[in-house]
A and B are shown apart, each in its own frame.
Chain A
Amino acid sequence: MSLFDHKLSEIQEWLHTKEISVNDLLNEAYNRINEVDGEVKAFLTLNEEAARQRANELDALRGTTEGRGLLFGMPIGIKDNIVTKGLRSTAASQILDNLNDPLYDAHVVQKLNGAESVTVGKLNMDEFAMGSSNENSSYYATRNPWNTDYVPGGSSGGSAAAVAAGEVPFSLGSDTGGSIRQPAAYCGVVGLKPTYGRVSRFGLIAFASSLDQIGPLTRTVEDNAYVLETIAGHDKMDSTSADLEVPKYTEALTGDVKGLKIGVPKEYFAEGVSEEVKTAVRNALKVYEDMGATWEEVTLPHSKYALSTYYLLSSSEASANLARFDGVRYGRRSPQAENMIDMFKLSRSEGFGDEVKRRIMLGTFALSSGYYDAYYKKAQKVRTLIKQDFEKVFANYDVIIGPTTPTPAFKVGEKTEDPLTMYANDILTIPVNLAGVPGISVPCGFSSEGLPIGLQIIGDHFDEGTVYRAAHAYEQATDYHTHKPSLGGAN
């Protein structure tokens, strides 16, 4: 039994009564990383020296921490596209390989530091968050803790795998088209993408600015709600962050879903969704019925257009956002270049991987003269239709429930040949980003191969409270979240 098998509230109680120390928690984290990360490869950079120093400071405060919050002394892993002052932040790209000393902390990191959590290290991901398997990391591919022949999902694969493997009790990821929920599903943990604007993106290395959101990955819904309470809220450094009060999400966890109205989109049970996944989700709906909730089939008719819409819009935004990597102010500069244009071209070509180049070119094409209306603007219009699909359902239902992914995790190398096959993993998560609504993935079963299956619960804008309430009630009625991978023997 690991300390991290317990909820943050339990661990915090032991810290407060001095049964354990912050250093004990760090020992748990780093020992487990030493034991299993050679296989899992969730971490890119460790922060052990600074973390130990911080732990000593915090341990001196133990016993006087009444009312300081549940994250006091808690070890956390942070996705590598979230900038951390003085701690290497690469977004898993060679173009930022030498960014060893970033100048500032992302807003969410400032919040976590303020809550006195301790950063254990930075987590592996698909380069610039472009990918669904972590195989696009320019360093190494993170493996699924449930079976290391399989991918952990992506792009927050390191964030999901580290929590599933018991290396940290919680982590932060980012989600542009499913990058928190899909790996959470594949690794059997809880991952939430908040409403667009709920969490500041300041210090998140931008991929697609109208879609990106930072969110927590945890073992339980309660922990997840608590972390979101800590990181959410308005930030004047992100003009798209919503100036709205942050509710106490943990107070929404009543266990009561009597009368909850659930919409189940028929498009989420279409061709390509495996029978095992369909069965797991149908069983979950029975659990909700038993708890007094009701569900009906609904339709999100433009779902099948979401993938195309997403790739045109996200790649267009990426082509603009990634223009900043020019080899001038920071990051890689090619030593070969003799003039300015060559310096840009060579630095970028040596620094970016193929998937990143592909998307930059797709985006540049979609935005270029003569194609803008046919591709980019067309996709923006279809985005409106997709958003309206959700508005129509939420006029009559509290939440939408379906699978997080069409299948459980796939094998490493299985989908790397054809980009479109890889993209199809995200067909059930992408519409949520396009509509800007919040969505969570919670464990809802296992495949015949013993791989986790995720249940996706989607809410209306800024209604994370209802999403959490529904997820928590389901979690309390089932025991999937208590299962652990048998990685590294005991534990």
Chain B
Amino acid sequence: MSRISKEQVKHVAHLARLHVSEEEADMFTKQLDDIITFAEQLNELDTEGVEPTTHVLDLKNVTRKDEPKHWLTKEEALKNAPEKQDGQFRVPSILE
């Protein structure tokens, strides 16, 4: 039984904002299915009552005062932009 279908791969690609061709979808379906099938070995383990680890060290929340300070100028922030206009990032139309 396959763990992930081609339709699911296309859906996941859409969620991740990736364009995949039919050919690529076939390839990724096979490869992701192999990887997910392999990963199913984790089900051998009883993890009832085990706390999930999100982070290996005991961390405390780090906060700072909400004060404005110099980081980047507008010119710097826009310097590497593919397209800009009037001091702003320019993007294609959002509404059809």
Contacts and interface: CB of A to CB of B under 8 A. Distances in A.
Bound together: yes
Given A236-B64, A362-B35, A375-B39, A330 B57 contact: no
A420 interface: yes
B19 A331 contact: no
A383 B53 CA distance: 6
A380 B91 CA distance: 38
Contact of B92 (A236, A239, A240, A339): A339
Interface of A: 98-99, 101-103, 196-197, 210, 236, 239-240, 242, 302, 304-305, 307-309, 311-312, 319, 323, 326-333, 337-346, 348-349, 352, 357-358, 360-362, 364-365, 368, 375, 377-385, 387, 418-420, 434-436, 461
A337 B92 contact: yes
A349 B12 contact: no
A361 B50 contact: no
Given A103-B79, A240-B57, A419-B34, 5 more contacts: A196-B57, A333-B83, A365-B4, A381-B51, A461-B56
B25 to A, nearest CB: 10
Given A328-B91, A329-B81, A380-B53, A311 B39 contact: yes
Given A328-B81, A365-B8, A339 B57 contact: no
Interface centre among B39, B81, B83 (most CB of A within 10 A): B39
Interface residues of B, number: 49
Interface centre among B19, B55, B77 (most CB of A within 10 A): B19
Contact of A361 (B28, B45, B79): B28
Given A330-B81, A379-B42, A381-B50, A365 B32 contact: yes
B4 A103 contact: no
Contacts of B62: 236, 239
A148 B8 CA distance: 41
A349 B93 contact: no
Contacts of B52: 377, 380-381, 383-384
Main secondary structure of the interface of A (DSSP, over half): helix
B38 A420 contact: yes
B56 A357 contact: no
B31 interface: yes
Contacts of B85: none
A326 B18 CA distance: 10
Interface in B15-39: 15-20, 28, 31-32, 34-36, 38-39
B67 interface: no
B57 A242 contact: yes
Interface in B42-64: 42-43, 45, 47, 50-57, 59, 62, 64
B19 A346 contact: yes
A197 B58 CA distance: 11
A17 to B, nearest CB: 42
Contact of B42 (A242, A308, A330, A435): A308
B1 interface: no
Interface string B66-84: 0000001000110111110
Contacts of B76: 103
A379 B18 CA distance: 25
A360 B72 contact: no
B82 A352 contact: no
